[in-house]
Chain A
Amino acid sequence: MTILDWLQDYTIQNVVIGAALLGLISGVLGSFAVLRKQSLLGDTLSHAALPGVCIGFLIAGTRNIGSILFGALVSGALAALLMLALTRNSRLKTDAGLGITLSTFFALGVVLLTYIQGTNNAAQGGLDSFLFGQAAATLRSDLWIMGGITVAALGLVSLLWKEFKLVSFDPSYAASLGLPVVWLEVLLTVMIALAVVVGLQMVGVVLMAAMIIAPAVAARQWSHRLEGMVLLAAAIGVGGGVFGALLSALSRGLATGPLIILSVSSVVIVSLLFAPRRGFVWEIVRLRRSRRRLRYQQVLTTLYQLAAAHADSRYRSGQGMIDTYHGTSTQRALRKLHRRGYVVRHAAPPEEPNTAGQWVLTPAGIHEAERILDSLGREAL
């Protein structure tokens, strides 16, 4: 099959478009969920969608995508409301509330699923694909539903951009300005439930949470503005979705949903490692660099203080003496000081035990040492 045939393949087209839509909506809405510390909300909503999927099927009597998605939306929203009621009216904390709601609804969903499978209804075939998703089953008509939901959600976010931003950053201040904070939060939650519904067919209820969280977390590493973060999260979501979908189409037989999640997750790993200022590697390099600078500043001030103690600005400090004082080899630091012209080296006189040499401060070195000591003194004040 040539690339062209491949791109014209109906199923592949559906899957790629679906994955792109899913990445778009979950990247945008996931950003708000992550910033509002509600990453787990996506997890709860998606697991809670399973009983809705089953009930939607039972009511329709067939695998009707409309009623299944509507059922998923309703049971997801119910779970979110239950979670809110639990944490508002009891001493339960949010994480515990989310955890209880998640597992209760998911258990109910699995029970209903096995019940339906037990009835030997021929139409139930493939209902369990909602657990891990079955992207290849995506139809053109499903795409219209997914596309409609995505456009509606993106429209709402761009209309209520500043309100959502303020509610995510400082809800009590937003309330003091008269914004209907509770309704805005409900709206955000319902939209996340909608994103979950979009993702059910593609990645399934179990992995959907990663689709909400991962693009947002990765984008946060690179961007320091909400606008940039949301756009980047959308791009990562779309990119990961399309890449995963193509990968699975190429490989024949590997599940699409998990491949999408793995593509997005690998962006997260790269971002956590390498993002400027926030990445681990960046942090390690920064620490190393400052530790080395500290070492060489310490050695310079040691030379200065030795010279001062001997009241001789041309005092020759033996390498062994400096090493002993710092309890470690200072050769590298001294070589660096030498390169910068702060010290000059003299050969050790024959009676010295250490042949590594002796070091004398240059006028520039004295000046630099005084500058360092001055700045230390200022900080101590």
Chain B
Amino acid sequence: MAELHEPNLALHVEDLTVSYQSKPVLWDIDFDVPPGVMAAIVGPNGAGKSTLIKSVLGLVPAVAGHVTLFGRPYKDQRRRVGYVPQRSSVDWDFPTTALDVVTMGLYGRLGWLRRPGRRERREAMQALEKVGMQDFAQRQISQLSGGQQQRVFLARALVQDADVYFLDEPMAGVDATTERAIVDILRRLRDEGKTVIVVHHDLQTVRTYFDWLLLLNVRVIAQGEVGDVYTAANLRKAYGGQIALLEESALLPPQERDMPVTERLP
């Protein structure tokens, strides 16, 4: 058996460069995530956050570099990876039900020619229950609210029963209740030893939700435990002039902000 490359890392990205029409979108990315953490990828618009996830999953071709998950390339580890694309990436007027969308998460395991049966429907139903959407199983997906659609997408990834989850902006455009529900589910996954990697857009909540952080702006600005990485200097490096737009309070440690105790990490 060939020697594994960095087998102790849930995700190991080395020298990754992605370009679009010869303009670099990601430049020389080295990025490691240990297993069992909830990691955020944060950076300004156009920093390449989504591209990084898509490139790891092989959806966007890289011009250089390599990616391994638990020591093996992605194509050998598909069964261990769950993916939640941006909600806006699909047309929700597609004629199908919530339960059917969740069942799609099992198509990889089913393989060619086999159709989803009773067992698959039961698993999909259980995933819907985990996100609190069991009552909407037969609902046409265009009739779901944005937050409900996001939960359906999350359930589709949960049904994959993966070890590493990639989520692209799961909290974008959802109401506060849904955001809380999504964070609870992700924390539960982490507590079960899974690795959760999230493209996140809201600096205010980074420290309350996550324990690992990658600050990205085409290059890697900083990465590591949130407490070490989330500093005024690093944020200024990542966001440049835009940092002026951030509230001062975002830079204070959580204890000094007037935030309800329940919102902090356990």
Q: Which residues of A contact B (CB under 8 A)?
A: 35, 37, 159-163, 165-166, 168-170, 172-179, 220, 223-226, 228-229
B43 an interface residue at 8 Å Cβ cutoff? Answer: no
User: Which of B81, B90, B115 is the one whose CB lies under 8 Å from A170?
Assistant: B90
Pick from B25-33, B106-114, B211-219, B228-236 the stretch touching chain A.
Answer: B106-114
Tell me the smallest distance from the CB of A283 to a CB of chain B, in Å. 15
User: Which of B58, B89, B107, B140 is the one whose CB lies under 8 Å from A162?
Assistant: B107
Give the residues in chain A near B100, CB-CB below 8 Å: 225
- B contact residues, total (Cβ < 8 Å): 28
Contact residues of B between 78 and 132, Cβ < 8 Å to A: 78, 81, 83, 85, 89-91, 94-97, 100-101, 104, 107-108, 110, 112-113, 115-116
Tell me the smallest distance from the CB of B199 to a CB of chain A, in Å. 14
Tell me the smallest distance from the CB of A381 to a CB of chain B, in Å. 13
Q: Is the CB of A169 within 8 A of B113?
A: no
User: Which of A35, A162, A176 is the one whose CB lies under 8 Å from B57?
Assistant: A176
Determine the distance from Cα of A260 to Cα of B104 in the docked complex, in whole angstroms.
37
Determine the distance from Cα of A160 to Cα of B114 in the docked complex, in whole angstroms.
9
**A-B contacts at CB below 8 angstroms, number:** 71
Please give me the residue from chain A that is nearest to B160 by CB atom: A177
Please give me the residue from chain A that is nearest to B101 by CB atom: A169
Determine the distance from Cα of A163 to Cα of B116 in the docked complex, in whole angstroms.
12
- Given known contacts A161-B115, A162-B107, what 10 new A-B pairs fall within 8 Å (CB)? A162-B104, A165-B104, A170-B85, A173-B83, A174-B107, A176-B58, A176-B81, A176-B85, A177-B78, A224-B97
B66 an interface residue at 8 Å Cβ cutoff? Answer: no
Give the residues in chain A near B90, CB-CB below 8 Å: 169-170
B244 an interface residue at 8 Å Cβ cutoff? Answer: no
With known contacts A161-B115, A175-B59, A223-B95, A170–B89 Cβ distance under 8 A: yes
B54 an interface residue at 8 Å Cβ cutoff? Answer: yes
Determine the distance from Cα of A228 to Cα of B96 in the docked complex, in whole angstroms.
10
Determine the distance from Cα of A165 to Cα of B75 in the docked complex, in whole angstroms.
22
Smallest CB-CB A-B distances: 8 pairs: A177-B108, A176-B83, A224-B140, A170-B90, A176-B57, A169-B94, A178-B78, A229-B95
Tell me the smallest distance from the CB of A215 to a CB of chain B, in Å. 14
Most buried by A among B57, B94, B115: B94
Give the residues in chain A near B115, CB-CB below 8 Å: 161-162
Give the residues in chain B near A177, CB-CB below 8 Å: 78, 107-108
Tell me the smallest distance from the CB of A254 to a CB of chain B, in Å. 35
With known contacts A176-B81, A224-B95, A225-B97, A166–B59 Cβ distance under 8 A: no
Please give me the residue from chain A that is nearest to B56 by CB atom: A176
